[in-house]
Amino acid sequence: MTTIFTIAQNWLEQDPDLETKAELAQLIDNAKAGDENALKELTARFDGRLQFGTAGLRGRLQAGSMGMNRVLVAQAAGGLADYIKQYDHNAPSIVIGYDGRKNSDIFARDTAEIMSGAGIKAYLLPRKLPTPVLAYAINYFDATAGVMVTASHNPPEDNGYKVYLGKENGGGQIVSPADKDIAALIDKVAAGNIKNLPRSQDYVVLDDQVVDAYIEKTASIAQEPRTDINYVYTAMHGVGYEVLSKTLQKAGLSQPHLVKEQVYPDGTFPTVSFPNPEEKGALDLAVKLAKKQNAEFIIANDPDADRLAVAIPDAKGNWKSLHGNVLGCLLGWHLAKKYHAAGKQGVLACSLVSSPALAEIAKKYGLQSEETLTGFKYIGKVKGLLFGFEEAIGYLVDPDKVRDKDGISASVAFLDLVLYLKKQGKTILDYMNEFNREFGAYVSGQISIRVSDLTEISKLMTALRNNPPSEIGGFKVTQFIDHLKTERNNDILVFTLENGSRLITRPSGTEPKIKFYLDAKGKDALDADNVLAQFDESVRALLRREQYGKQDC
């Protein structure tokens, strides 16, 4: 009988990392000595394995098959290499990038060695760089695949492994069934020993040619007449600053005031409790600097710079972050007007949990609109895409360059919008008010319920599915869609109300949470806020009802 000690010892013997090797050895020794907590921890470390899915891998940096470490990454690289060779029989190739998190560079080099050892042409980006540079490099080199080692805006103790497919797949993130096929090949590699995987140093460490090409193309987004802009930027301890600064210089745009404590990569993220610019408190240092400099606005990237957050002062001078739906619609409106003036046809796309206002923008300017499943892996695959966004502050403003969200390009597009408004003597706040007059005031909210037992999520989804409410907040539900019964075949429920509001619920794909997305529409901003507050309260009351499990919300 295979015991937990046999499994752990086998893993230990494969581990090339001194830190995780020592950590696991100590855990094994303590468990064997009768330490019950150590035995419990050891069992948890090998209770299955970190699952490879459409988001690749993402998890805590720790020894064992349930953590991100060099053994697990080598297994993933070996399985992915087998998939790439099956997928591309002629000249398989891959580009590999990494951010500033702990071990990102090590995981990237391990991957490059294993790919090269498998006979795959491997290109390694020259240093810590944003995820969108990696996404761009895949198509730049016409590579078969790409890997970005990043955990995006996850907590400091995490890391991840994001996989892309190039050539006819367009360079976007993997979607099903590729994830399942790759996972099956990873399992085959994991059944053996990573020491048996051939490795080679014959991979190419790239120079700045591809980075410079990305910068030049991104700089071309800025088209409005240049004038001074007074604003603040934070990289959130990530890798965005260098590329953004060079892009601004290339475009002739004003450089920002920098939150110096957060401008350079630091995988410990010392000034924030959670390195996500959406999180409360994450922009505190930026706001402090903005007040000192009397800045017009703040822009922030997340740690791998594929997302953009914007904050502005309201009429009373209080700084507030723009919701991802608001910024997405402002950018979409600005670009739609440009495309319409140029006579260009195409699609404005967003995830189905993002604002329905984007469809109204598309309709006004004679463009098509599309809602996709959640995630840029789906948005990036939309044919004829002109612009795409998701409410989680992800934007794609130049899909001819990359097929993934891009916080650098979105920053330049936003600055171009600011310049467009400046020549008319307007601010972003003015533009938001114009949008409300043109399309109605849309506001969004979210309720997240974290669970300790994942079965609680399925129970609640089943209850809502089998016994859907006929009214919410005094308004009738005029349409109920269960996407398990549509061609999307996804665990998502949509409730549309007679007043134009909408509730969408789905399990989180990355956390033990169930999420409720609320979209409310009003005559003006104040009315919309009131509608949202009423909507939020009624949804929480609904979830506390007996038939829905008395949720704590």
**Sign of torsion over alpha carbons 13, 15, 21, 25:** negative
Going by their DSSP bridges, the two strands 121-124 and 204-205 should be labelled as parallel
Q: In what order do the strands lie in the sheet with 471-472?
A: 441-450, 513-522, 502-507, 493-497, 475-482, 471-472
Which of 65, 116, 152, 354 does the annotation list as catalytic?
Answer: 152
Q: Please, what is the end-to-end C-alpha distance for the chain in angstroms? A: 45
Three-state secondary-structure class, residue 138: helix
Residue pair 227/424 in contact (Cβ under 8 Å)? The answer is no
Please report which helix (H) or strand (E) contains residue 291, including its range: helix 284-293
**Short-list 90, 81, 13, 5, CA closest to 39:** 5
Active-site residue, 351 included:
no
Angle at 298 between CA 292 and CA 304, to 5 degrees: 125
Residue pair 95/143 in contact (Cβ under 8 Å)? The answer is yes
Structure tokens at 181: 């096929």
Residue matched to tokens 């581990």: 15
Residue 549: count of CB within 10 angstroms of its CB: 16
Contacts of 170 (CB under 8 A, 6+ apart): 139, 380, 381, 403
Please report which helix (H) or strand (E) contains residue 185, including its range: helix 178-190
Residue 478: count of CB within 10 angstroms of its CB: 12
Catalytic residue ranges: 152
